[in-house]
Amino acid sequence: MKKITILSGKGGVGKSSITASLAVSFSKENKIVCADCDVDASNLSLLFALSEDKYEKWEKLSTNKIAII
């Protein structure tokens, strides 16, 4: 299993956007897990059009070979 970490000390620089784009691109040939560890502004679920009230934190969601936790 390969891991890619995307981080920055500054907010609003596109970490979540890059993560979502890479996940969609890589999911064409691999299973992908995205973990958004931003405790203040976690928004990967928004980029994948997932409503937070539809799942519990840490519940695995599989859509097109991408799991968001």
How far CA 40 is from CA of 11, 37, 64, in Å, comes to 10, 9, 27
Residue 55 structure tokens: 């799942």
The pTM score is 0.69
Label residue 18 by pLDDT band (50, 70, 90): very high
Helices within the chain (DSSP H only) = 15-26, 44-47
The amino acid sitting at 39 is V
Beta bridge partners of 33: 67
Residue extents of the structural domains in the chain: 15-68
Whole-number pLDDT of residue 28 = 87
Phi/psi at 66 (5° precision):
-120, 125
pLDDT by residue (tens digit) across 28-53?
888 888 888 877 777 887 887 776 55
